[in-house]
Amino acid sequence: MKRRYICPFAVMGCLIAAAFTSCGIYGKYHQAEQLPVEGNIFGDAPLSDTAACMGLLQWEQVFTDPALQSLINEVLTDNYDLRIAGEHVRQSEAALLGAKLSYLPSVGLAPGIGYWGDKSQGLPYQLIAQASWEIDIFGRTLNSVRRSKAAAAQVRDYEQATRTALIAGTANAYYALLMLDEQLAVAIQTDSAWAKTVNVIHHLKEAGMANEAGAAQMEATYYAIQTTQRDLRQAIRETENAICLLRGKPSGTPVVRGSFTAQQMPDELTIGLPLQILHNRPDIRAAERNLEQAFYATNYARADFLPSLSLSAVIGYGNFNNGMLFPAQMLYNLAASLFVPIFQSGRHIAQLKMAKSQQEEALLAFCQATLAAGNEVNNALAEYHSEKEKVGLYEKQVEALSRATQATSKLMQYGSATYLEVLTAQNNYLAAQLSLIATRAQQMQALITLYQALGGDN
């Protein structure tokens, strides 16, 4: 019977490989397939898994005003913050390329020439090429590359977050500008109505049907309305300049815009599934990328406990007469070194503990970001529906106060109403009109907030 021998080195190699595998240094991070926190992070918000949900819409489908779409396209092309974010992406990609190239050996040349005082032997020279290569059998380079890859993806997520923030910021400024335009139009219209009222009360005073106090009060309110127009025009200028800054244009560049009353808001809004939203939001993805980097940093810290294997080679040609090469001849050397860490003054232990703690910190930050995302979505959706209901109530209030103002103005002409009643009715009517405009603008801003909270355009 033939005996079979098992090489002890093979057995040792298998045991070492099994030990390395159990350490998890080759483990790969897997994207979260379930929420890191329990329960529905969106609370009572309506969920949907259809393509009609808000979380799957492109920004052009959310902001349908052609003038606003033109502004957003201009911002996405010329905004300096977004261009800076693009440079950060290119920098991270360059760092990732450098990490990937660390798999390759390093090669260098060391040419030399000298003079030793003996001209009979000619000019001494040498040309030596050196190469070294650390074989990544213990996962150091692997985990470093994976960590750099996660960092590059995180930078791309921040670029997407910048893009989403710019779209939302442009829409906010645009709707604010439309609101100010509408308020200015109401103030101008009210100014004309008050001018007629002041003229009427002066005639009543001349006829003995009104006193000086009433006329003076009417004039003061009229001047206050004119002051409001100046404030609105200044606010319009500042908002236009803010939009110019987003566009990368100098102040005073015209801002083409539509009408405030022509803006259409959706009646019903539904959001996507929680996990879907997590993958849509760039800040949530960035938080998970941070967790991924911490995961690979822990793997790298574990790999520091294991040996490192390096190969080095030297090949050269020269004729130095210094005891090394003479006459001209070739020199070559090939060596392998294995370094096994035994005692490092507790440095590797401390680094591993710190890496584990940082990984746990990244996990907690990911959970916190998830809860914050759900909170933002729930608040934005609730605010949108609340402002929508308020718009309906303000419209009824404005209609009622319009009738009251017209009635009191006619009654004052016939002496059946006092100037105080007219003043109160017109002030209430103006305040209700401005409140209606502001509430509509708030509804638009709630839509923008919801768009951004659902991840924006991804």
Q: Is the pLDDT of residue 54 over 90?
A: no
| pLDDT given at position 34 | 63
69 pLDDT band, cuts 50/70/90, is very high
Q: Residue 339 pairs with which residues in a beta bridge? A: 308
pLDDT higher than threshold 90 for residue 223? no
Q: Write the CB contacts of 317 (distance below 8 Å, at least 6 apart in sequence).
A: 126, 127, 128, 325, 328, 329, 330, 331
With 70 as the cut, is the pLDDT of residue 157 above it?
yes
Query: What is the number of other CB atoms lying within 10 angstroms of the CB of residue 71?
Result: 24
Gyration radius (Cα) of the chain, Å: 37
Q: Cα 371 to the chain's mean position, in Å?
A: 17
Token readout for 139 is 């996962």
d(CA 437, CA 449): 18
Q: Among 122-126, 183-187, 311-315, 392-396, whose mean pLDDT is lowest? A: 122-126
The yes-or-no verdict on residue 409 having pLDDT over 90 is no
State residue 4's pLDDT score.
45
Better-scored residue on pLDDT, 150 or 11: 150
Beta strands in 286-394 (DSSP E): 308-318, 329-339
Is a pLDDT exceeding 80 seen at residue 372?
Answer: yes
Domain boundaries, the chain: 30-104+139-305+347-453
A 10 A CB-CB count for 424 gives 14
Return the pLDDT at 109. 67
CA distance 20 to 348: 16
106 in Cβ contact with 310 (< 8 Å): no
What is the DSSP-derived secondary structure letter of residue 417? S
pLDDT class for 1, splitting at 50, 70, 90? Answer: very low
- The sheet carrying 125-135 orders its strands as 106-113, 125-135, 308-318, 329-339
Percent of the chain with pLDDT over 90: 16
Confidence of residue 11 (pLDDT cuts 50, 70, 90): very low
Q: Which helix (H) or strand (E) holds 100?
A: helix 80-101
Q: What is the mean pLDDT of residues 259-282?
A: 76
Average pLDDT for 405-426: 74
Average pLDDT over residues 67-87: 91
Contact 310, 133 (CB under 8 A): yes
160 against 7, higher pLDDT: 160
- Short-list 396, 26, 454, CA closest to 274: 454
- Start-to-end C-alpha separation, the chain: 70
| pLDDT at res. 3 | 45
> Do 373 and 36 contact (CB within 8 A), yes or no?
no
Tell me how far apart the alpha carbons of residues 3 and 6 are, in angstroms, rounded to a whole number. 10
CATH number of 30-104+139-305+347-453: 1.20.1600.10
pLDDT at 401 over 70: yes
Q: Is the pLDDT of residue 134 over 80?
A: no
The identity of residue 277, as a single letter, is I
Kind plus residue range of the DSSP H or E element containing 126:
strand 125-135
Q: Would you place residue 257 in the very low, low, confident or very high pLDDT band (cuts 50, 70, 90)?
A: very high
Grade residue 215 by pLDDT with cuts at 50, 70 and 90: confident
Q: Is residue 2 pLDDT above 50, yes or no?
A: no
47, 78, 88, 115, 250 from 247: Cα distances, Å: 35, 6, 20, 66, 9
Between 46-55, 135-144, 420-429, the lowest mean confidence (pLDDT) is in: 46-55
Highest-pLDDT range among 36-45, 138-147, 250-259, 304-313: 250-259
- CA pair distance 47, 438, nearest whole angstrom: 29
Say whether pLDDT at 327 is over 90. Answer: no
As a whole number, mean pLDDT of residues 211-233 equals 82
Return the top range by mean pLDDT from 67-81, 125-139, 188-202, 369-383: 67-81
Where does residue 318 rank: exposed (0-12), middle (13-18), buried (19+ CB within 10 A)? buried
Candidates 258, 228, 252; CA nearest to 240 is: 252
Place of tokens 């033109």: 70
At residue 33 the predicted structure's pLDDT band, cuts being 50, 70 and 90, is low
The band of 10, judged by pLDDT with boundaries at 50, 70 and 90, is very low
Q: Please state, as a whole number, how many other Cβ atoms lie within 10 Å of the Cβ of residue 48.
A: 16
* 94-119: pLDDT as tens digits: 888 877 777 677 777 666 655 555 55
If you average pLDDT over every residue of the chain, what do you get? 78
| Token representation of residue 390 | 């308020």
How many CB atoms are closer than 10 A to CB 348?
17
